[in-house]
Structures are given as C-alpha cells and as structure tokens.
Amino acid sequence: MATTSDSIRTLSNPTRATLGEQTSKVAEEVRELGNIALSSAGEALQSVKERGGEVLEKGKERAGAAREGFEGYVSENPFKSVLIAAGIGALIGYGIRSRK
C-alpha cells in the first residue's frame, strides 16, 4: 500500500514516476523486439537448411552422373584410361620428389 509520504513524493516529483513507467515500457519493447528477432532468425535458419538440403541433393545427383560418365569412359577405353592414370601418377611422383 502506498503511504501518504509516497503519494506526496510522487506528486512532488512526477518525473520519477514517469521515468519508471518509461523504463518499464522500454524494457517491454526490447523484449518484444528480441522475440521478433529470434523468430526471424529461426525462419532464416530454416530457409538456409532447406536450401542447403536442396543443394546437397543436386550435388549428389551431379556426382552420380559424373561417376557414371567416368565409369562409361573407362569401360570403353581401358588402355587409354590406364595410360592417363599412369601419367598422372608419374607427374605427382615427380612433383613430390623435386620438393625434397
């Protein structure tokens, strides 16, 4: 309960009561803005997850297609494929050897 002296203080200094009210309102608005920001961040995260999943699926499809193409080329040209692999291995070996 408010005493007479509290009422007199409030009446004698109205900015104190107003300042307290304003502080409460500002704190409430900050909480609301925080909640809005959190929900927006959650929505953005969900959108990124969905797009990431789509990109991952497309990447898997492309990798599968490339693998099928590679396997087809190797089965059609086995001798050429072995020579290419040997050439690449020789280049890598030469690169490693020259560094030491």
Q: Classify residue 74 as exposed, middle or buried by CB count within 10 Å of its CB (0-12, 13-18, 19+).
A: middle
What is the tens place of the pLDDT at every residue in 50-82? 888 888 899 999 999 999 988 888 889 899 989
- List % helix, strand, coil for the chain (3-state, nearest 5): 95, 0, 5
Judged against a pLDDT cut of 70, whether residue 25 lies above it is answered with yes
**Token duo for residue 21:** 């009210």
For the cut 50, the answer to whether the pLDDT of residue 1 exceeds it is no
Kindly tell me if the per-residue pLDDT of 92 is higher than 90: yes
* Mean pLDDT, residues 25-33 taken together: 85
